[in-house]
Amino acid sequence: MIEGILIGLTTALTLQNILMVMVGCFFGTIIGMLPGLGPMTAIALMIPITYGFEPATGLILMAGVYYGAVFGGSTSSILLNAPGVPGTVATSFDGYPMAQQGKAGKALAIAAWSSFAGGTLSAIYLLFMAPSLSKVSLSFRSPDYFALMILGLTAIAAFSSKGQFLKAMMMVVLGLMLASVGQDSLSDITRYTFNNMNLTDGISFVLVVMATFAMSEALTIILKRNDPTSAAKQVSLTELGSIKINKEERTKMYKTIPRSSVIGFLIGVLPGAGATIASFLAYGMERNVVSDEEKEKFGKGSVNGLSAPETANNAACSGSFVPMLTLGIPGSGTTAVMLGALLGFGVQPGPRLYMTNPEIFWSIIMSMYIGMVILLILNLPLIPYIARILAVPKNYLIPLILFFSVTGIYVMSFNNFDIYLMIGIAVVATFLRLYDFPMPPLILAFVLGGLMEENLRRSLLLSNGSWEFLWDRTLTACILATTILIVVWHIYKTLKRKN
């Protein structure tokens, strides 16, 4: 392994590859800030360019774009409540409220340090555990995935403040209904399509996020008739530029980052999971383990609530390289595109890749360390300037948000129907927001709903319709037992408080 690391370092530290990391991180950050584009589109566009490079150089460039986009996606989530990439949706839950309180610079700094720490720790895990973890990830079966999704739904409690649990549950049902639109994955039956061909493939996750967060945010401000200019002036430029993290906040981050990086990395290793699910699970789990006092701050600008998803989504990015490189199975949509590029280079991924092509395997891992440092250097000095976006009067900002939302969705599909659908969902979401229905449970259910149904049905098929699959496998039973323990613990704490 030492020899492989040295080969990787030698390859990654060439002038050309360092330049590729810098270019990838810079463009990834910009793309991540623009809602609707995302790293997958950017990497797909880069494939023809990278074919002129060595395979290692091309993959280093694409990897830089990938984690740069996730890094940059947090900026629009925090400042505009418009997640640039799906993996940063959970970042907006506490990042945006923190920005509204005049702590935009601090929120961006917490996100930057958490992303850096999550990505770096994950690269260390990848360095030592990649070959053995590929075997573990293969042991996951449909019942285990289903149990994992159920565990993820315990995060609903994190999104419902006092007296809003019923509303949160109603939003979960709505999210599950939206997730079930389109053709059934195991048959040719279509659901909730109303004979409209445009709905046959279901509803895009980015479309739902843009409608429920960015567009409905803009419509809510308009309907509430807030004075946009005075609202912007309430936040002083001095507060915007502050990126200092005090001792108490650092202490919270020191506790959150290690556990969220482990969750993010392990979820990233699982084929088909990815940064979005990792960030939601880390957010929910963090809320489950903090004190009661800290729980009350979730959704209102919690340091733990911001640090957890930012750490996890970057850790998941590195983790998703494990199944791609060692098994040839993409861990996410973005790594699926990168896998196609890898095969286009004539490189066959597999368990022996780190021995047959060490310059590719190890140079990607080594370039991640360099990339994380570059992203931190690139973003931290710019935070005071980026944060000043909030000082722009909202009567200019709102049209920009609407413009980026519409163009972002149109660029994804070039289909006018998606724009009409987004506007329709945004109108409904705005109405619900005015009556204090929380949006995060809807997004959580939409993310987990499709995977949960698919794995449940596959499990039932494999067990001939029997529900014994829930306790037949030790791993499934352990995950479900953990879920039950968390729920029972919450009920016990609630009853104790009432008494």
The answer to whether residue 327 scores a pLDDT higher than 70 is no
What's the pLDDT at 233?
Answer: 47
The answer to whether residue 231 scores a pLDDT higher than 50 is no
The answer to whether residue 384 scores a pLDDT higher than 70 is no
- Alpha-carbon distance of 457 to 474, in angstroms, equals 20
Q: Quote the percentage of the chain above a pLDDT of 90.
A: 2
Point out the least confidently predicted range of 5-19, 85-99, 324-338.
Answer: 324-338
Encode burial over 301-325: b for 16+ CB neighbours within 10 A, e otherwise: bbbbbbbbbbbbbbbbbbbbbbbbb
What's the pLDDT at 139?
Answer: 73
pTM above 0.75? no
- Mean pLDDT for the stretch of residues 147-171: 72
- Mean pLDDT for the stretch of residues 17-38: 78
- Mean pLDDT for the stretch of residues 180-189: 81
The answer to whether residue 322 scores a pLDDT higher than 90 is no
Point out the least confidently predicted range of 197-206, 247-256, 443-452.
Answer: 443-452
- Band (pLDDT 50/70/90 cuts) for residue 427 is very high
- Alpha-carbon distance of 310 to 213, in angstroms, equals 18
The distance from CA 335 to its chain's CA centroid, rounded to whole angstroms, is 14
What's the pLDDT at 97?
Answer: 87
The answer to whether residue 106 scores a pLDDT higher than 90 is no
- Alpha-carbon distance of 267 to 317, in angstroms, equals 10
The answer to whether residue 113 scores a pLDDT higher than 80 is yes
The answer to whether residue 68 scores a pLDDT higher than 50 is yes
What's the pLDDT at 486?
Answer: 76
What's the pLDDT at 333?
Answer: 64
DSSP 241-255: H-----HHHHHHHHH
- Alpha-carbon distance of 38 to 30, in angstroms, equals 10
* Torsions phi, psi for 190 (to 5 deg): -105, 150
Amino acid 326 reads: T
Point out the least confidently predicted range of 151-155, 317-321, 414-418, 480-484.
Answer: 151-155
The answer to whether residue 269 scores a pLDDT higher than 80 is no
What's the pLDDT at 131?
Answer: 63
- Mean pLDDT for the stretch of residues 274-293: 81
What's the pLDDT at 238?
Answer: 47
Most confident of 25-39, 45-59, 96-110, 223-237: 96-110
The answer to whether residue 213 scores a pLDDT higher than 50 is yes
What's the pLDDT at 287?
Answer: 80
* Torsions phi, psi for 191 (to 5 deg): -130, 135
- Alpha-carbon distance of 345 to 322, in angstroms, equals 19
Mean pLDDT rounded to a whole number for the chain: 78
